[in-house]
Structure 1
Amino acid sequence: MNWESKASTLANRVTDPDSRWLAPVARVPRHELIPKWWELDGSEQWVLRDGPSDPEAWAEAAYADRSLVTRVGTLHADHAESGDHPEGVPTSSATLPSLIVRMLRHGRLGAGLPILDLGTGAGGLTAYACHRLGDAHVTSVDVDPYLVSAAGERLASMGYHPKMVAADATEHVPGSYDRIVSTVALAPGPGLRPILDALATGGRIATTLARTSLIVTGWKHASGDVVGVIERDMAGFMLTRSGDNYPAPLVELFALAQEAEGESRTTGRYPVLDVANAWEIRSMLEVMAPGVEVGYATSGRERTTVLVHPDGSWARASAEWINPPEVHQSGPRKLWEVLERIRNRLNAEGALPLLGAQVRITPDGACHLSRGQWNASMGVQ
């Protein structure tokens, strides 16, 4: 495979001509990190792709600026056979190179500064960091021992020998780092404490917040607080996990919300929205109702959105195309009303107060946001 020309083309596409990340992207053989991966076929079924058996497709996939899913549920593509069709959601991937570069830029890395790559995945970020900074300064952590082992072996074959660690970062992060760049989404609260403890005073973290697309960057002060901003940039990453798979979604509550008559039945003000793909609105919904899960389906011109929450609240809104929806809601909080308040604010002010907001993360993992007279907190115990 003539990967060098393809990697160079990719580097020119995802970095600037004077970028310090151009050479790493151009010189890392990304295809070697992703010999197998999963793709959804036309029937929304996961299908295995084997790179060595189809070098042309392998090169096209590996040097395109896109993420490749490497693990679905508990089945890694490396361990799968043709004909396997795992069920569930992606649990690991090779992040698209342009997003890796953006996160590395947000991390403001520097020569000689110890960096933690939180969320090894296929090892792409680790490879780029090793190429530019030297592998002696790079540590990569993932909860999945196989991912750590496989990425470590593939990186070693390229001549990179960073420190590779299998650990649940929500429980313990070994070492101390001047820079932490996370390509998994971190949930405010107690699970954030070990990561904050691993960040040296004066150090900088770049991450996203769980169930949002908000990129948070900040510097650690002597008080232990991390103070920074929500960047005017957005990204979507998988949640951190502690076990071999993510906890089961609120299946029973989703099923109830799909069919049941709500305690209240009203007509919504706005058209049905695919909330998961309205990134800023979805992020604000998580800030206002942390832990909410969303679903969306279409049938012809009929569109339905379902919101559910661990406290037992649920909402369902259905309508034909952009007509006012019929809304059913039950539980201690009216989730559709929360969503409509967000959309009211967006319409009234032209923007939500998230991007550019100030952030203070306290040592207990609580995340406090503020912008002008608006403020909110997440992960407060």
Structure 2
Amino acid sequence: MKWLPQARRLAHEVVRPESRWHSAVANVPRHQFVPRWWEADGEVWHLRTGPDDPEAWLKAAYSDRTLVTRVDACHADTADAGDFLDCGTPTSSSTLPSLVVRMYRHAMIADDNQVLVTTGSGYGTALACARLGDTQVTSIDVDEHLVQAAEERLGVLGEHPQMGVCDITGLLPGEYDRIVSTVSVRPVPVSWLPALRPGGRLVTTIAGTGLILTADKTADGGAVGRIEWDRAGFMRIRHGDIYEQIADDLWKGAARDDGEEVSQSRYPLLYPPDAWDVMSMLELKLPGIEYRQKEDGETRTVWLLYPDGSWARATATGFLESPVVHESGPRRLWAELDRIRNRLNRSGALPAYGAQVTITPDGMTTLTRGSWEAVL
């Protein structure tokens, strides 16, 4: 296939020509790392097989988009042709190239750095190898299949970085100048601090938010940094085959019950994942909220579900009508959402982006901006 012109076009789209990452994007064959992927059509996931449709393969691989390679425990690599899944949660992907490069640029990687990255499809690892050389790159993932597949595909390109099956929240296999995680975490794993060399930098995102956290190691073994004026969303770190799901009985109650309290919001209906600033603030205070939505003609419904048994259901007809809100459980989730929107309206901004970050040697991570503070 004539992939090189496509890779060069992609590089021109996502990286400035003078960037040291431009050559990497222009010369790494992304399609080799994603021969199969899942595409969503509503709640149904359809398997796409690249060699069966080379034109569609090139178009998908060399577009600036994320390609889902695993849904729940189902790898696209091992699925049968024509397979589909009625529902499911993405658990691995090939991240859109522009975001991979942005994360690496936030890391401020120097030519002589030893870098730890997360594996996924292996494409991001290939970019790091192209930029630095494979002897300076270590790539890890909790999923053995992903590591083995990426190692084989990298080997075809003549790249042989150190690869490992490893939970990134646990003990890391070496010491590094940079740690770049394209899975989201909360809190920042304490194991990263001893694995960072003096003056080293870590880059990650906070789970459930659009917040990119960068921090440089300090002499006391901790780190200081900030929440960047940038946005990114990655899948949460997982420790097994799939993510834990909200209990069915909580979802059933939220779907049909009146709840313990009924009120009317003063604001139009909002689906928080569509407003990353608001969602990030809510997640910092109440980590682990699950969001769902449904449209039935002009009627829209949004649900917030929380692991402690709290839930909120807000329903509105049209886009200007204030929703009727049903809530139950120990916390009033929609009331907390409205408080954040009050602050946004009053101040014109929310404090999370641009916040200062302090990580103590024992791993406590604190975000501060003015009088505002959040502890992960």
Check if 1:279 corresponds to 2:273.
Answer: no
CA distance in 2 between counterparts of 1:360 and 1:126 reads 28
SS of residue paired to 1:92: strand
Which residue of structure 1 lines up, in the alignment, with residue 301 of structure 2?
304
Describe how 1:212-291 pairs up with structure 2 within 5 A: 212-291=209-288
User: What amino acid is aligned across from residue 277 of structure 1 in structure 2?
Assistant: D
Q: Deviations over 1:284-328 (max 9, x none)?
A: 100121222222211111111111211221111111122111111
Question: What is the CA distance between 1:329 and its match in structure 2?
Answer: 1.2
Please say if residues 117 and 138 of structure 2, whose CA atoms lie closer than 8 Å, have aligned partners that are also in contact: yes
Q: Deviations over 1:147-167 (max 9, x none)?
A: 001001101101111001111
SS of residue paired to 1:261: coil
Question: What is the CA distance between 1:187 and its match in structure 2?
Answer: 1.3
Check if 1:131 corresponds to 2:130.
Answer: yes
Describe how 1:342-361 pairs up with structure 2 within 5 A: 342-361=340-359
Which residue of structure 1 lines up, in the alignment, with residue 84 of structure 2?
85
Q: Deviations over 1:113-152 (max 9, x none)?
A: 110002x111111111101111100000100011001001
Name the Cα RMSD after superposition.
1.2
Check if 1:363 corresponds to 2:361.
Answer: yes
Misfit runs of 4+, over 4 Å: none
Which residue of structure 1 lines up, in the alignment, with residue 74 of structure 2?
75
Question: What is the CA distance between 1:250 and its match in structure 2?
Answer: 3.6
CA distance in 1 between counterparts of 2:221 and 2:261 reads 45
CA distance in 2 between counterparts of 1:96 and 1:223 reads 36
Which residue of structure 1 lines up, in the alignment, with residue 166 of structure 2?
167
Q: Deviations over 1:27-78 (max 9, x none)?
A: 001111111111113x431111111111111111110111100111111111
Question: What is the CA distance between 1:259 and its match in structure 2?
Answer: 1.2
Check if 1:155 corresponds to 2:151.
Answer: no
CA distance in 2 between counterparts of 1:184 and 1:252 reads 29
Which residue of structure 2 lines up, in the alignment, with residue 338 of structure 1?
336
Task: Name the TM-score, length of structure 1 as normaliser.
Answer: 0.96
Bigger shift: residues 159-168 or 82-91: 82-91
Please say if residues 115 and 179 of structure 1, whose CA atoms lie closer than 8 Å, have aligned partners that are also in contact: yes
Bigger shift: residues 362-371 or 239-248: 362-371
Bigger shift: residues 29-38 or 244-253: 244-253
User: What amino acid is aligned across from residue 234 of structure 2 in structure 1?
Assistant: F
CA distance in 1 between counterparts of 2:237 and 2:371 reads 32
User: What amino acid is aligned across from residue 90 of structure 1 in structure 2?
Assistant: P
Bigger shift: residues 357-366 or 311-320: 357-366
- Percent of residue pairs bearing the same amino acid type: 53
Please say if residues 216 and 231 of structure 1, whose CA atoms lie closer than 8 Å, have aligned partners that are also in contact: yes
Q: Give 5+ residue unaligned stretches, structure 1.
A: none
CA distance in 1 between counterparts of 2:251 and 2:313 reads 10
Question: What is the CA distance between 1:248 and its match in structure 2?
Answer: 2.1
CA distance in 1 between counterparts of 2:301 and 2:310 reads 17
User: What amino acid is aligned across from residue 261 of structure 1 in structure 2?
Assistant: D
Question: What is the CA distance between 1:196 and its match in structure 2?
Answer: 3.0
Q: Give 5+ residue unaligned stretches, structure 2.
A: none
User: What amino acid is aligned across from residue 191 of structure 2 in structure 1?
Assistant: P
User: What amino acid is aligned across from residue 181 of structure 2 in structure 1?
Assistant: S
SS of residue paired to 1:47: strand
Bigger shift: residues 80-89 or 108-117: 80-89
Check if 1:372 corresponds to 2:370.
Answer: yes
Question: What is the CA distance between 1:171 and its match in structure 2?
Answer: 2.5
Q: Deviations over 1:189-232 (max 9, x none)?
A: 6xx12233322231101110001110000101122222100000
Q: Deviations over 1:252-289 (max 9, x none)?
A: 21221121112111111111111122111111100121
CA distance in 1 between counterparts of 2:279 and 2:31 reads 33
CA distance in 2 between counterparts of 1:78 and 1:101 reads 25
SS of residue paired to 2:116: strand
CA distance in 1 between counterparts of 2:191 and 2:259 reads 41
CA distance in 1 between counterparts of 2:266 and 2:289 reads 21
SS of residue paired to 2:192: helix
CA distance in 1 between counterparts of 2:304 and 2:38 reads 28
